[in-house]
Structure 1
Amino acid sequence: MSAGLVPGDADARWKASADQIERTHHAVRSGHPELANSKDEVERRKKRLARHHDREGIVDADDSVWTSFFSQGLIVSQTVGRVVVSQRHMPSKPIGTGVLIAPGLMLTNNHVLPLEALPNEAAVEFAFEYDENGKEREYRTHQFAPEMCWFTDEELDFTLVAVSPVDGKLPGDTYGWVPLIEETGKAIRGDALNVIHHPRGDRKRLSIRENRMVAEDELWLRYTSDTQGPRRDADQLVGTLTHALALASPGTGQRVLSGFRGACSI
């Protein structure tokens, strides 16, 4: 178990955020985000939403969204892949979820890929999902290339690893990628969030109901959700459909996506 996932530490952080969570629930019920956030936080969030013509983050009784919500969701979901480990004479074993943050660079959790040797046995499957007719879509497997880029942080529970091209094309050339933005305030307490994941290693799903950011500290964002916790896969991409916010860690909330202590050239 990584240092960042020590149960006592997680429990203490949850208890310390109890007041935040209660204020957030009250803000959502009343439709007044300022009950859980400062006026500056609310105003910055409104300005960001206005720039993107986005209503999904507004805390009020109206849960309608622009129709572009669906097209944005499709675009972002393509960047998320199922991390698997090959097994001799057996189907690949799913161990987590990852997201492309550059054409040939994937972000996942340290508890999914904790060792540099593991990516040599692991790969990522894109488009492991159902199509519009409910049929299994043809997916594509890309091997990892840790010799090109590898960086992991046990405390923050994230791993960056390069992804090899297939037929001369990097995965981002086909599926796109989600750029990380250092600026904070992409969501405030009470905002609706969306979760893209492979629950229990199954085909890709998007959770868009009853997901709320409820608390935060210097390391964690916390949200409530009805997502299913896979065997090892709690590493969903969590955020609005215009910005990635965090990777989820098992049963503890989510790790903030911000600056990384390390660099890779891809």
Structure 2
Amino acid sequence: MTWTKKHTQLNDIFSDLVPNKEGITKYVRDAGLKPQFIDTSGNAMDVWSNVISEAEKNSKVDNLVRSMLTTYPDNSFLKSALNSGEIDFSLSPDIDETSFWEEVSDDTLEVLTMEQSSLLPVNFLAKGVLKSKSVGKVEVKIGSSNYSVGTGFLFKISGIDDVFFITNYHVIHNREDIERTRIIFDFELDINGDSLPSRSFKIDPNGPWYCSEIKEYDATIFKLIDQDSTLAEFGWIDLKEIEITKNDFVNIIQHPKGEMKKISLYHNIVTHKDERVVQYLTDTQRGSSGSPVFNSDWEVVALHHSGGGSRPGEPALPSGIKSRNEGIFINNIIQFFTENHQNI
């Protein structure tokens, strides 16, 4: 069969929703496929790839999607898979292609499971809410009705007066996409569970445009048009050089799959840090690319850019915890931005 973009994205979605191989057989049977014809070697993503190939061969891809919808009826990407040729969202780069993945050590697992208290002062929540105001959804229109989605945030750096917005290079880097892009704030629920009135802003096509490719810092930085002088209501996050070490905890504010704003809180733990990247265990999904990764003081330590399931041979993790998440160390982003902004 010819493997298309739709197959790739279905593979990503299925793997996010059902990351354990043991849970896949149910959907195979519900779709009218025969489990004995599916190669179940490798990890869950590999198995899902084999399932999709078998479904395509038997013209039952839609059946497979419908079987998933019985469990996840509100998933927007599953629903769109039945109505359009492609499901569009920003695909994270493969960690294996951009950097070395450091496996999770035994001492990290000990901290994660029992050794470290997760008690925090109650103002931790209030500070997080304030920071979340500056996080927005990135939406790039693709074709007539599809959208590619990501996350980003408003920021300032000491010594530079203007407020900028940052997301991943792999979310947007082509100036030709500026007119088709909007940045949406307050796309979230209020304390009563009702939708807030969201507001969107366009990218300033005449403003600064700083891009660092995926294998460097995977970042795109620009300014937004503040036509009605309302952007200040969303504040900004002050970026400063920071220290982060293995076994520190991190938190991520994100728009997973382009959905309403969510937060991934403890226990998210740093498994590795080097000069370029920070790697951590947490729960992210497609659309989380470009999210700010915070420490326990709500200081940004990284720009999230990639995540995925564990690989064969990696240590077993507690149920529900994903491995292989990575962000670009924020000190690199600050240096990249400062050097480029000083040169204009």
The TM-score bracket by the shorter chain reads 0.7 to 0.9
Is 2:169 aligned against 1:93?
Answer: no
Residues 21 and 163 (structure 1), Cα distance of their counterparts in 2 relative to 1, 3 Å cut: farther
Please give the residue correspondences for 1:43-192 in structure 2 after superposition, counting only pairs within 5 Å.
60=116, 62-86=117-141, 90=145, 93-102=147-156, 104-154=163-213, 155-169=216-230, 171=231, 173-182=232-241, 184-185=242-243, 187-192=244-249
Contact 2:138 2:182 in 1 (8 A): yes
Q: In 2, distance between residues paired with 1:25 and 1:151?
A: 38
Report the CA distance shift for 1:7/1:244 in structure 2 as closer, same or farther (over 3 A).
closer
Report if aligned partners of 2:211, 2:220 keep a CA contact under 8 Å in 1.
yes
Q: Which region of structure 1 is more displaced relative to structure 2, 20-29 or 121-130?
A: 20-29
Deviations 1:139-184 (A, max 9, x none): 1101011321100000210010111103134x2x1111111112x3
What is the Cα-based RMSD across aligned positions, in Å? 2.5
Deviation at 1:6, TM superposition (A): 5.8
- Residues 66-121 of structure 1: CA deviation (Å, up to 9, x unaligned): 1111110100000100011246774x735100110136310110000121222232
- Structure 1: gaps (5+ residues): 32-59
Equivalence for 1:21: 105
Q: Please tell me whether residue 201 in structure 1 is matched to residue 258 in structure 2.
A: yes
For residues 114-144 of structure 1, the C-alpha deviation after alignment (integer angstroms, 9 at most, x for no partner) is 2122223211000000011101100110101
* Structure 2 Cα separation of the partners of residues 30 and 209 of structure 1: 13
Q: TM-score, normalised by structure 2?
A: 0.59
What is the identity, as a one-letter code, of the residue corresponding to 1:145? D
Shift of the 89–221 alpha-carbon distance from structure 1 to 2, 3 Å rule, reads closer
Amino acid at match of 1:21: S
Counterpart for residue 234 of structure 1: 289
Aligned residues: 223
Assess, with a 3 A threshold, how the Cα gap between structure 1 residues 134 and 248 changes in structure 2: closer, same or farther.
same
Which of the numbers 323, 328, 341 marks the counterpart of 1:255?
328
Q: What's 1:217 paired with?
A: 274
- The alignment's TM-score, normalised by the length of structure 1, stands at 0.75
Does the 8 Å CA contact 2:167/2:289 hold for their aligned counterparts?
Answer: no
Following TM superposition, by how much is the alpha carbon of 1:214 offset from its aligned partner in structure 2, in angstroms?
A: 1.1
For residues 201 and 139 of structure 2, the distance between their equivalents in structure 1, rounded to whole angstroms, comes to 10
- SS where residue 141 of structure 1 aligns? strand
**8 Å Cα contact 1:24-1:214 kept in structure 2:** yes
Higher helix share: 2
Larger radius of gyration: 2
Give the percent of matched residue pairs that are identical in Structure 1 and Structure 2: 25
- Partner deviation per Cα, 1:241-263 (whole Å, 9 max, x = no partner): 52011111222511111121543
AA aligned to 1:245 is V
User: Shift of the alpha carbon at 1:188?
Assistant: 2.1
**2:67 alignment partner in structure 1:** none
Instruction: Describe the superposition over 1:1-22 as per-residue Cα deviations: whole angstroms up to 9, x where unpaired.
Output: xxx9465444x611xx23x734
What runs of 5+ residues in structure 2 fail to find an aligned partner? 1-91, 157-161, 308-324
Preserved CA contact (<8 Å) 1:104 1:164: no
